[in-house]
Amino acid sequence: MTSNKTVAVYGAYGHTGRFVVSELRRRGWTPILSGRDAVKLNAFAADHPRLEVRPASVDDQASLDRALAGAAAVINCAGPFASTSAPLIEAAMRARIPYLDVAAEIEANIDTFTLFADRAREAGIVVVHAMAFYGGLGDLLATAAMGDWTSADEISIAYGLDSWRPTPGTLVAGQVSKQRRDGRRVVFANGKIGYTTAAAPTAEWTFSEPLGKQPVVAEFTMADTVTISRHLKVPEIRSYMTATAVRDLTDPNPQAPVASDDSGLSPQTFMVEVLARRGGEERRAIARGRDIYGFTAPLVVEAMARVLGGQVTSTGVLTAGEAFDARDFLASLCPTHLSLEMQ
């Protein structure tokens, strides 16, 4: 366990970064404010006059090293992660400190495992990747639902969002992913990730109350599929997103999240249901909460605290379900940030 309470936050002035900074301070950590845009960084720092500001560019190795100097860990909140993850992980390896991020870009997720699984292990550092609403939460729920099962026939993830107002960062990351996919969609079948040009099918999913039966877009593959498939033995991972949320996300003039109170959280609510099937048996984990971006902050900060607290014994690139006791981790977020039901 470290006595160093200083944590570098890259992308601190972004929508999610602001939540992470606030959560770190609430829990007694001291953030170092870092990011690419010095003007935005200094404007944000005006509200946090006692915090150190360290602008850094992913194209400037020396500036990244200065940003991480003396920190116990770094949390990367700056997308698109296709551009930022690799340079920040390299810097974390040079500094010999844990790296965590909130990446939800599927191709960037895959790249991180491919490029750094061995290197981070050899460097002896912990990299907890995709520790966000998409990636971390679904992985924890799937791992908790599996329990003592070592394999399953199928895992289904149903995202019950009452709305989805994307941040500017989400839109930029989506454009990067769209370019890399060249008009294709990501699917998971027969134990591996692939691509298709076919239109996404529609269906219905009966959520627990209060959502009930909802029209959904199927094959809505997100970062959870990457993280789950890294460590759980399951040949089929199926994903569903409420049609209302998809319409918001794909609106030609999308609206950004708007705070509904002093916490900065939007009024958006979410329900995520993960269903694991093996033979004729089913297990289900259900999480309910508010604001997918705001929720990411306690998720990644709790992960960081557990890493620095010595609760992660492995090194290398890890997913949430690999790194942590899933049920205990989820329980730690209840009831302040999450309500949890296991069936």
- Does pLDDT of 149 surpass 90? yes
Q: Is the confidence at residue 142, as pLDDT, over 90?
A: yes
Distance CA 67, CA 138 (A): 31
320 with 135: CB under 8 angstroms? yes
Q: What is the pLDDT of residue 293?
A: 98
> 163: how many CB neighbours lie within 10 A of its CB?
17
| DSSP class per residue in 242-267 | EHHHHHHHH-SSPPPP---STT---S
Fold for 6-132+296-327, please state it. Answer: Rossmann fold (3.40.50)
Q: What percent of the chain has pLDDT over 70?
A: 100
User: Whole-angstrom Cα distance, residue 18 to residue 208?
Assistant: 32
Domain ranges of the chain: 6-132+296-327, 134-291+329-342
pLDDT digits (tens, 9 = 90+) for 2-54: 789 999 999 999 999 999 999 999 999 999 999 999 999 999 999 999 999 99
Joined together, the tokens standing for residue 321 give 């379900």
How far, in Å, are 145, 226, 231, 254, 305 from residue 221 at the CA level? Answer: 19, 9, 17, 21, 29
pLDDT of residue 1: 66
Residue 284, φ and ψ in degrees, nearest 5: -135, 140
Residue 238 to residue 147: CA distance in whole angstroms: 19
Q: Are 99 and 38 spatial neighbours (Cβ–Cβ below 8 Å)?
A: no
State the pLDDT at residue 189. Answer: 87
Tokens representing 63 are: 């500036």
Q: Does domain 134-291+329-342 have CATH number 3.40.50?
A: no
Q: Which residues pair with 185 in a beta bridge?
A: 196
pLDDT over threshold 80, residue 233: yes
Residue pair 111/83 in contact by the 8 Å Cβ criterion: no
For the chain, give the mean pLDDT.
96
Residue 61 has pLDDT above 70, yes or no: yes
Cα–Cα distance measured from residue 84 to residue 99, given in angstroms and rounded to the nearest whole number:
12
Angle, helices 168-181 vs 106-123, to 10°: value is 90
How far is residue 306's CA from residue 314's CA, in Å, rounded to a whole number? 12
Do 6-132+296-327 and 134-291+329-342 come out as alike in CATH topology? Answer: no
pLDDT category, 276, cuts 50, 70, 90?
A: very high
Question: Quick one: average pLDDT of 145-156?
Answer: 97
3-state class (DSSP) for residue 8:
strand
Task: Note the pLDDT of residue 2.
Answer: 77
Give the tens place of pLDDT for each residue, 162-211.
Answer: 999 999 999 999 999 989 999 899 999 889 999 999 999 999 999 998 89
- pLDDT above 90: percentage of residues in the chain: 97
Task: Check residue 94 and give its pLDDT.
Answer: 98
What average pLDDT does this structure show over 85-89? 98
Residue 44 DSSP SS3: helix
Q: For residue 313, what are the contacts with CB-CB under 8 A and spacing of at least 6?
A: none
